[in-house]
Amino acid sequence: MPKTGNRFQSFSDFYPFYLAEHSNLTCRRLHFVGSSIALYCLIRFGLSGNPAWFFCGLIQGYAFAWVGHFFFEKNKPATFKYPLWSFMGDWVMYKDILTRKIPF
């Protein structure tokens, strides 16, 4: 896992770390549910233009994920240290769950 100091060199280097931080099945399921709700809210925001839907999606996505980390995975979300790559990792993991590449 190539790193410079405390930083990963690429997303492909980061993603195995991200998955290791999501090894607990309940945590992954909570991420998936939160991301699904967030996606629904973002679609509603796009259709209605009502910013409440955008903020609802943001809150729901992170709330479910953070419950998974703090209560089941027992670690600190990667969002705090790697916000962009963590956000990307959420959606790659979402796709990997949908395509059954990783267990759900």
Give domain limits for the chain. 27-98
The string of pLDDT tens digits covering residues 21-79 is 999 999 999 999 999 999 999 999 999 999 999 999 999 999 999 999 999 999 999 99
Report CA-CA distances (Å) from 101 to 71, 83, 98: 25, 24, 8
User: Tell me, what's the pLDDT at 1?
Assistant: 47
Handedness of CA 79, 14, 102, 46 (dihedral sign): positive
Nearest-10 crossing angle of helices 83-98, 11-20: 70
Contacts of 1 (CB under 8 A, 6+ apart): 8, 13, 16, 17
